[in-house]
Amino acid sequence: MKFIVSSSLLSKKLQIIAGVLNTSNTLPILDDFLFEVNKNELTISASDLETTMTSKVDIESTDSGSIAIPARLLLDTLKTFPEQPLTFLINNSNQAIEISSDYGKYKLSGHNGDEFPKIPTIDGGEKLDLSTQILARALSKTIFATGNDELRPVMNGVLCEFSTDDITFVATDAHKLVRYRRSDAKAAASTSFIIPKKPLSLLKNILPEDESDGPITIQYNDSNAFFNLRDSNLVCRLIDGKYPNYDAVIPKENQNRLNVDRQSFLNCVKRVSIFSNKTTHQVRLKVSGSELQVSAEDLDFANEAVERLTCQYDGEDMEIGFNSRFLSEMLSNLDSDEIVLELSAPNKAGLLSQSPGTASEGEDLLMLVMPVMLND
């Protein structure tokens, strides 16, 4: 089997799907890329058994066949080449691979492509065409809030709720929660499933910035989700389990409402948190009238910092503590110049949102951060 391919195009495609590969695998074949040649089209696949990603590349060939090629060796070799055509010559009887470039020849051993795990296919299931920009935005706003708790795997993914009225993406790690809803996208039937963080991060990296490639097609059944773009596909196994009732933890009565400049607040929290306790990362917000006081202290080292910001506040005077890392993360993931922080009590969650009129049409973004106990 023989084919000719552009070195830079092949390298670019391989680097995208290489994110699927694990550093240690139980099956040696999972350290390989699967190359499937069908005349002038090459389909490359990478898998970790849970997630499989495929990408198509145009090549010159009259042959058909498959071969599994060691991923790390091939990636490291391709990185060193400037743009040029590479000729791959594969001996199907012993899986020997010879790559010819303008500089010389390189020989390596591959494996039988038939040993590579079969890529799941979808039978039946539901289907949704979604704007790539909407999906990219939903993922960028939620992935950071997912957990890493092996005992609660459902929190290590993003909950997707599709209905005939809207679509909702939710992520939480029990300390913070993000709900991203779009009323300008709908599904044919109501359903919900949890997608792991890793495939969503990979998907986010391949979504085009514009709509030139058309929408992305999402197909899903009880066990897998399939994402189909023009020349790339991603299949992942869904997380099995029941997602926590996130609606129950969102406080409904928030009579205290604070409006403040987002960037000033973020910079203030970052500076003040340097002086906070390194275990709790606690910052204290004290709000009264049109002044917001942000403070932190580390009693073990006698470190202390206090800053004041002007704000608009409608409500009772209040003191509340937050983990500065969670607060900074959320403020960094909001876009508007001004943000709204809604509070009900010092022991109840605070709600962060963009100031009214600044969100994209059809977009509803809500972030929740749990308070930490203030030590007086």
Domain boundaries, the chain: 2-115, 126-247, 250-372
Q: In the prediction, which pLDDT does 208 show?
A: 82
Using CA atoms, how far residue 83 sits from 15, 39, 90, 265, 318, in Å, is 15, 22, 22, 47, 62
Q: What is the mean pLDDT of residues 327-353?
A: 95
Residue 357 pLDDT grade (very low, low, confident, very high; cuts 50, 70, 90): confident
* pLDDT score of 32 more than 70: yes
* pLDDT score of 375 more than 80: no
* pLDDT score of 37 more than 90: yes
Q: Are 272 and 283 in contact (CB under 8 A)?
A: yes
Q: In the prediction, which pLDDT does 258 show?
A: 96
For domain 250-372, is the CATH number 1.20.1730.10? no
Same fold, 2-115 and 250-372: yes
Whole-number percent of the chain with pLDDT over 90: 86
Q: In the prediction, which pLDDT does 152 show?
A: 93
Residue 134 pLDDT grade (very low, low, confident, very high; cuts 50, 70, 90): very high
* pTM over cut 0.85: yes
The DSSP string of 23-83 is: SS-SSGGGGEEEEEEETTEEEEEEE-SSEEEEEEEE-B-S-EEEEEEEHHHHHHHHHTPPS
Q: What is the mean pLDDT of residues 296-303?
A: 93
Residue count (the chain):
376
Q: In the prediction, which pLDDT does 78 show?
A: 95
Q: In the prediction, which pLDDT does 212 show?
A: 66
* pLDDT score of 123 more than 90: no
Q: In the prediction, which pLDDT does 214 show?
A: 79
Q: What is the mean pLDDT of residues 62-78?
A: 96
Residue 265 pLDDT grade (very low, low, confident, very high; cuts 50, 70, 90): very high
Higher pLDDT among residues 158 and 119, named by residue: 158
Q: In the prediction, which pLDDT does 58 show?
A: 96
* pLDDT score of 30 more than 70: yes
Distance CA 2, CA 89 (A): 5
Q: In the prediction, which pLDDT does 8 show?
A: 96
Q: In the prediction, which pLDDT does 356 show?
A: 81
The structure tokens listed for 37 are 């040649």
Using CA atoms, how far residue 326 sits from 43, 145, 174, 282, in Å, is 41, 9, 11, 10
Q: In the prediction, which pLDDT does 230 show?
A: 82
* pLDDT score of 376 more than 70: no
* pLDDT score of 213 more than 80: no
Write out pLDDT tens, residues 177-195. 999 999 999 999 999 999 9
The dotted CATH code for 126-247 is 3.10.150.10
Query: What phi and psi values does residue 103 have, to the nearest 5 degrees?
Result: -95, -30
Q: What is the mean pLDDT of the chain?
A: 94
The dotted CATH code for 2-115 is 3.10.150.10
Higher pLDDT among residues 278 and 374, named by residue: 278
* pLDDT score of 125 more than 90: no
Q: In the prediction, which pLDDT does 219 show?
A: 94
Q: In the prediction, which pLDDT does 310 show?
A: 96
